[in-house]
Every structure is written in structure tokens, then in C-alpha cells.
Structure 1
């Protein structure tokens, strides 16, 4: 357990900066546009067609302004230059990977969010966000299709002596047909994030809406709750214990969801998935509780081996994924071994991305249609 947690931690550390392309164009295209996740009416930050980011911060009395991109912010980052009007401006040294990235601004040693950008919970704090338009962004775009509902619930937790929060996605039509029951996916965030991550950064509700409208997927409910990961300090994950969260999830949240939503309340119609540390939680809980879930997905969150799973009949689907800039060979090798052992195992590699939300958006698009086939 400790060894696995350390491996996950190393993946996060090595992927801490926003992914930059291996080669930079000879000239930067001056077609910059405001990021799609800016505050209303704000012109900066901006991105261009090549994936470069451009920033503008007003700090006329500052001595240094640096933009740090990535989970937790990379050392160094993009140094901005002060101009005569009191604004600090600068452009990233290279293009960023497609998709969403966290960042913050360091002004004379103090860490701040960019007032021009929306904030997203990551790195155990609300970070600024920037979106690099992806060539395949259509699958998570907001479209004129029937939309599901993402609602906050507060469920009682005796084990933690409080009410805890979760967000529940119900598909379009859920409130119309009162007789229909739905399978459920329990979907976990990564280290330093919370239960808002998959809908805010991941746009999972829009991915679901679009796939349902296109007839590519069987509608199901998604439940997203806090994985109790942020109490573990960065660098101390080897001491993480799964039991408290396992109790919250299995003994408290699942019964609450089954009692308050129209669920098909049996293992065949229950899945668990998670990204990064959420993948570690998924693996551990699905192995500890083989009678609760039947579909498993680890997104940049490790692998299963055939020896891990004692009863093959209970694992209906095992999905493994990562970005091409992570460890794709390990994912492919593990999937091959699972297939050879007779498991329904599927792998996916997100081309051109690292340990970041574009990898996980694409991974969700690939594994969601595979769920609850039977």
C-alpha cells in the first residue's frame, strides 16, 4: 500500500508543471484570445492557436511577478516584465498541452490568484485556471442538447460525526420517468482537489449530456464526493489510510444515494473510478469490497494485476488509462496481462497529454460507454 502511494506521488510530482510541447514553433502566432475560463469581461489571460499563454497583471509597485503553471505551481515559471503603464506582461516560453491547467501568480514572494481568471479547487487551494483549446474539444462543449442536473447533497456521516457533501449528476429525463432506475458511477478526484473537480475542471456533466444525446451511452447517475485526501500533506502520502474514506463511501454515502435516488442498487449496476490518487482509492476499495462494485476504472492512477482480483466473475470491466507523456507502457502491459488472464480489460492512452485534465476528460469519454453493458 505504501509503495503504491509513493508511486502515485511521484507521478504527481513529475507532472507538476503544465505540459509543454517538445518542440516550439519558430514564431509565436499573434492570434491570442481570452481563455474560455476567464472572469466575465476579462481579456487576460490569453491563449493562441499554438497553445502559448499570455498574462497581464497590474502591480505597479511590485519588484517581481511570476506565473507558475501546474499542480501546485512549478518552480520558476513565466517571469513577467513590468511596462510603463504599471502592468506586468509575459508569454510562456513554449506552448502548453491542450486542455485545462492550474496556475497562480507570485508577486514579491506572495502567492495570489490571477484576478482575470476563474478559480478552481486544486493543490489544496483555489487556483486560477487557463484553458488551451483542444482539437477535440467538441465532446465536452456546451451544446443545445437536453441537459442533466448536477446537485449538491449533504449526507449524514456517523463515522466523521458530521454531514458531508457530494455532488450528484442525474441524466436528462431522470425527473420525468419516475419508474426508471439507473446504474451509478462513484467518481473520485485527485490529490489536492475536491468533489467539485470533475464537473468544474472535468466537465463530466457536459460529456455525459453530449454522449447521451448522440446515443453513445446508457444513461447513469454519477456521484462525486470528497476523498479525504487533502488532510495528507504533499510528500506524506505513504501514511495515507484508506479505511476512513472507505467507511464514508461504502457504509454511508452509497446507502444514502440508494435511499434518495432511483438507483439500480446492486453490484452489477455500480462502478467506481478515479483519477490519480482517486485511482489509488478506487483500486484499494474495489479490492477490499469486491461485492460492492463490478466496474473499475483507474485514470493515471495505477494498474491492477490478475493476482489482485480473487474472484474474476465479479469484475465486469477493468479500464486503465493515462496520458502519452506519463507511463503508457505500464498501462498497456497491465491490460495485456489482464486480458490474457480472461478479464474484460480495456486501455486508453491520451495522445499528447500528461497528468492533467485533458487526459482524464478523454479517458472518461472512452470508458463511460463501456459501463453497464449487461
Structure 2
């Protein structure tokens, strides 16, 4: 029997008209445990079996401290030692960005590891899920994530990319591999997929299970964060398209053992990265043959100009997003004779667990 206690929480809910505070009595299950994304040795933040997040911070001179997660701020309470403690409502399973608000200043929680999301380096929390095994660190052969700097004449800079090579890449020196170019979303960057996305572990596990063919994954910054929120119409794809197609792909094909042709090259992205993916593959259909759109753009049959060039269109979403639109679009593609597949992540919204699951499904269909 799980021990319960009644706790009085002051919950600050962000409302359209301003900040609305409500006091409620709720029973909280007292089985909180530190999360796997805590700083080494830090007992907080913690998560319980209900998916509630509890955190603490020492701030004796602060007047007000809040836990800010899921677009809701939760009041924290100070004890006689100046330690503030607070809990959130239950969160969806998977990974979430969060922060603390101390006297009006939003700051990372020093107890968590830092992740780049929401246009900043900040805190992240992992809510346990029944399928977290798909990205678990297991005793299987592991690939490598290489950090490279590639020259970009168009931007007059050296740009960063993370490149995953599958297990055996260093030993099988004559073998060449297909490549997936995998894009992050708005207010994220090239660190997002290898860190909070766990792309390398997802692939290691799939390959060990014999469920996916080995391939290389390339992850770079999509040049998206310079536009203001809501300004998607003002985003010009051409600079990033030049960097990706004319600079990064030739670099990867030169420095890694790739199968450097259209039928062995894929592109996918989440949210705004899906918009980038769709736009680039439409502009340059001779470059990519496999397409993945996670929680964002969708294809209609009349947008696929050369069906013979397209080997796969994969479209996905969280069940709390727009599953009907994804299903309808994909079924229309199938009826038009295009190899297409859809996937809905149950119980999740516009968040990284949706996209981890999407990559897990998409990877099993690639280059078959």
C-alpha cells in the first residue's frame, strides 16, 4: 500500500486574463525518487508514480519561488532553513523542459542536468514511461556520436554537427551506410536529438534487436531560432537549405563512409524541423528519398511531384495533438500510390517523448 499524505498546495495557473491562484487539497503519493537526469549526487528534482515533479532550492532571501513546468507555475513553500519545496500536477510521460522562477527571474534548477530547449540552456525532467526501454542504456554494442565542425562558405563560419555512426562502423572499414539527416524543432538546436532525444541509444537498441538496418544520423542546427515566436511565415528556408544540401552533405559524404545517392538518403524533423524537411525535400527532390515528419507539416498527394523518387513518407503526432489530420493525410498518400505510414504516440502531446517514439518507429522502416 502506497503511503499518502494530504498536502496544501497553492497552485498558480496561467490564465489568459492574468495569474489566477487557487488553493486546493490533494492527496500526493509519497514515493518520490530522484530522476536519471539529475546532476550527479543531487537528490532533487524528484518524480513520483503519479508523474508529479517535486523540487527544492536553497534561497533564504527570496520572497517568492515557483516551479514553472508545462506552461503552469506552481508555488513553492519555504521552511525555517530557507529551503523552498514545491510539487507540480501530474505530467505526461517522457521528457519536459522546466525552470524555477525566483522573485520574477526565471533560472535553471541547479539540481538537474541542462538541456537546450525553449531557446535557452535550462533544466529537464524525465517522467517514467512504460516504454522507456526503447532509449535505455543497455549492454549492447554501441555506436559513436561524433562532434564535427564543417566549413560553411555561405555563412562564412564553421558550423557544428553531431554525427552518429552505428556499432561496427570503425571495424567494418569497407562498408558504406545510408544517412538520415535529422532536424530539431524551434528553440532547440543540434544538441537536442543526441541529448534529450536519445537518438543514438534508440538506434543502438533497434540494431541490437535486429529491428533496424544500421545507418548514419546527422544532426545540425536548423537556423530557426532567429525568428520570433509566431513568425514562421517570415522564415526563409534558402540559407539553411544551402548549408544542408550544398555544404553539409558533401562534407559528410567526403569524411564518412556513406552511400552517397538519393535512394540511400533520408531527411526527418520534429515540429519546425518537419516544416524544414518538407520544404527542402520539395525543393530538392533529387537529394532525399525517405521523409519523416514528426508533429508538424503534412504532405498531400498533389505535393509529391515525382512518386518514383519517394520511397517513404512517414508522418506522426502525439495523441494529444492532431492524430486525425495525420491519419487522413497519410491515407490519402497511400490511395495515391505513395508508400506512406502514420504513427500516433498515445498519451503525449508536442514533446520529446512523442518524437523519440516517432524516431523509433521511423527507423524501423528506413532503407528496407
TM-score range, shorter chain: over 0.9
User: Deviation string for 1:317-374 (max 9, x for gaps)?
Assistant: 000000000000100010110011011110000000000010000011101010011x
User: 1:127 and 1:309 mapped to 2: Cα distance?
Assistant: 39
Contact persistence 2:53–2:87 (CA under 8 A): yes
Offset of residue 131 of structure 1: 0.5
Ranges in structure 2 where 5+ consecutive residues have no aligned partner: 1-24
Partner of 1:103: 98
Is 1:362 the counterpart of 2:357 in the alignment? yes
Which of the numbers 63, 77, 80 marks the counterpart of 1:81? 77
Deviation at 1:237, TM superposition (A): 2.1
TM-score normalized by the length of structure 1: 0.91
Q: Does 1:175 align with 2:170?
A: yes
Higher helix share: 1
Query: What is the CA-CA distance between 1:81 and the residue it aligns to?
Result: 1.1
What is the CA-CA distance between 1:273 and the residue it aligns to? 0.1
Alignment check: 8 A CA contact 2:67 2:87 kept:
no
Stretch of structure 1 that moved more, 234-243 or 203-212: 234-243
The structure richer in strand per residue is 2
Matches within 5 A, 1:258-273: 258-273=253-268
Question: Aligned ranges for residues 54-133 of structure 1 at < 5 Å?
Answer: 54-70=54-70, 74=71, 76-92=72-88, 94-133=89-128
CA distance in 1, matches of 2:57, 2:231: 34
Cα distance in 1 between the residues matched to 2:124 and 2:183:
20
- CA–CA separation in structure 2 for the residues paired with 1:83 and 1:296: 53
Deviation at 1:26, TM superposition (A): 6.8
Instruction: Tell me the equivalent position of 1:146.
Output: 141
Q: Distance in 2 between matches of 1:368 and 1:106?
A: 39
Over alpha carbons, which structure has the higher Rg? 2
Quote the residue 1:13 is aligned against. Answer: none
Match of 1:316 among 302, 311, 314: 311
Which string of whole-angstrom CA distances, capped at 9 and with x for unpartnered residues, describes residues 291-323 of structure 1? Answer: 000000000022000011111111100000000
Matched, 1:284 2:279: yes
One of 309, 320, 323 as aligned partner of 1:325 = 320
Deviations 1:228-265 (A, max 9, x none): 00111223222100000000000000000000000000
Cα deviation, residue 28, structure 1 = 2.1
Q: State how many pairs are aligned.
A: 344
Pairing 1:177-196 to 2, within 5 Å after superposition: 177-196=172-191
Q: CA RMSD in A?
A: 1.1
